[in-house]
Structure 1
Amino acid sequence: MAKISGKHVLLTAILYVYITAVAVTARLLPSELPLHPYLINGQHKPISKIYDTSKYGILQLGNGLANTPQMGWNSWNYFRCDFDEKVIKETVDALVTTGLAKLGYNYVNIDDCWAEPTRNSEGKIVPDSKSFPSGVKDLADYIHSKGLKLGIYSDAGLYTCQIRPGSLKHEYDDAALFASWGVDYLKYDNCFNLGIEPEERYPPMRDALNATGRTIFYSLCEWGVNNPALWASKIGNSWRTTDDIEDSWESMTTIADINNKWAAYAGPGGWNDPDMLEVGNGGMTFEEYRGHFSIWALMKAPLIIGCDVRNMTAETYDILTNEEVISVNQVFLNDLLTPPSSSVIFANEISSDPLGVQGKKVDSYGPDGCYQIWAGPLSEQRFVLALWNRCSKPSTITANWGAIGLESSTTVSVRDLWKHKYVSLNSATSFSAHVDAHACEMYILAPVAAARSAS
Structure 2
Amino acid sequence: MEENTSSHGQFNDQVLRDISLEMKIKMPQYEYINMDSGWCETYDQYGRWTYRQDLFPYGLKSLSDYLASNGQKLGVYILPGIRKDAAEDSNVKIKGTNHRLGDIVKKKRDGNGFLGSTFMPDEDDLSTALAQTYYDSMGDLFAEWGVSFVKIDGCGPGGGDTLRPNQSPDNRKCLAMMKKAFEKHNIWMELSWYLDPAYANEWATLANGARIFIDIESYSKRSMTSSLRVFQRITQAANWAHTGVVGPDRGFYIDLDVVTVGMTVNGKCIDGLDNDDVRLSYISFWALTSSIFCLGADPRCIPDKYLKWFNHPEILTIHQTGIMAKPIQSGNAWNNRRQVWWKRLPDGSVVVGLFNTSVFMFMLGKSYDIKFALKDVGMEKATIKDVWAGKSLGVYDNKYSVVLRPGQCQILMLKP
**Shorter-chain TM-score: what band?**
0.7 to 0.9
Match of 1:249 in 2: 227
8 Å CA contact 1:374, 1:387 repeated in 2:
yes
Q: 1:371 — aligned with what? A: 338
Contact 1:115 1:128 in 2 (8 A): yes
Q: Corresponding residue for 1:229? A: 200
Residue 96 of structure 1: CA displacement? 0.8
SS of the residue aligned with 2:52?
A: coil
Matched, 1:433 2:402: yes
Q: How many equivalent residue pairs?
A: 341
Q: Which moved more, 1:164-173 or 1:231-240?
A: 164-173
CA distance in 2, matches of 1:270, 1:419: 31
Q: Contact conserved, 1:228 with 1:239, CA < 8 A, in 2?
A: no
Which has the higher relative contact order, 1 or 2, with Cα contacts under 8 A spaced 6 or more apart?
1
1:171 deviation in Å? 1.7
For 1:139, give the aligned amino acid: L
Give the equivalent residue in structure 1 for 2:160: none
- Matched-pair contact (CA < 8 Å) for 1:155–1:166: no
**Residues 146-165 of structure 1 mapped to structure 2, 5 A cutoff:** 146-158=70-82
More strand by share: 2
Q: Give the root-mean-square deviation of aligned CA atoms.
A: 2.7
Question: Does the 8 Å contact 1:229/1:241 carry over to 2?
Answer: no
Relative to structure 1, the CA distance from residue 192 to residue 266 in structure 2 (aligned partners, 3 Å threshold; closer, same or farther) is closer
* Among 222, 236, 253, the residue aligned to 1:258: 236
1:275 equivalent to 2:264? Answer no
**Matched AA of 2:36:** D
- Give per-residue Cα distances to partners, 1:79-107, cap 9 Å, x unaligned: xx332222211111111111x12xx2111
Contact 2:155/2:168 (CA < 8 Å) preserved in 1? Answer: no
Decide which moves more: 372-381 or 168-177: 168-177
State whether structure 2 residue 270 is matched by structure 1 residue 297.
no
Task: Measure the CA separation in 2 of the matches of 1:254 and 1:366.
Answer: 7
Deviations 1:139-188 (A, max 9, x none): 11110111111111111134586998799744222211101111111111
Partner-residue secondary structure (3-state), 2:49: coil
- Inter-partner Cα distance in structure 1 for 2:39 and 2:55: 7
How far does residue 195 in structure 1 lie from its aligned partner after superposition? 6.0
Q: Distance in 2 between matches of 1:261 and 1:115?
A: 34
Indicate the SS of the match to 1:303: coil
Distance change >3 Å, CA 71–CA 143, structure 1 → 2: same
Task: Note the C-alpha offset of 1:367.
Answer: 8.7
Sequence identity percentage: 24
Letter in 2 for 1:173: S
Structure 1 length-normalised TM:
0.69
Task: Select the residue among 4, 22, 25 that pairs with 1:94.
Answer: 22
Q: Identify the residue that residue 412 of structure 2 maps to in structure 1.
A: 443
Check if 1:358 corresponds to 2:336: no
C-alpha contact (below 8 Å) 2:155/2:195 kept by paired residues: no
The 5-angstrom pairing of residues 69-148 of structure 1 reads 70-76=2-8, 81-98=9-26, 100-101=27-28, 104-116=29-41, 118-148=42-72
Asked whether the equivalents of residues 222 and 228 of structure 1 are also in contact (C-alpha less than 8 Å), the reply is no
Name 1:49's counterpart in structure 2.
none
TM-score by length of 2: 0.75
- Please name the residue that 1:187 is paired with: 151
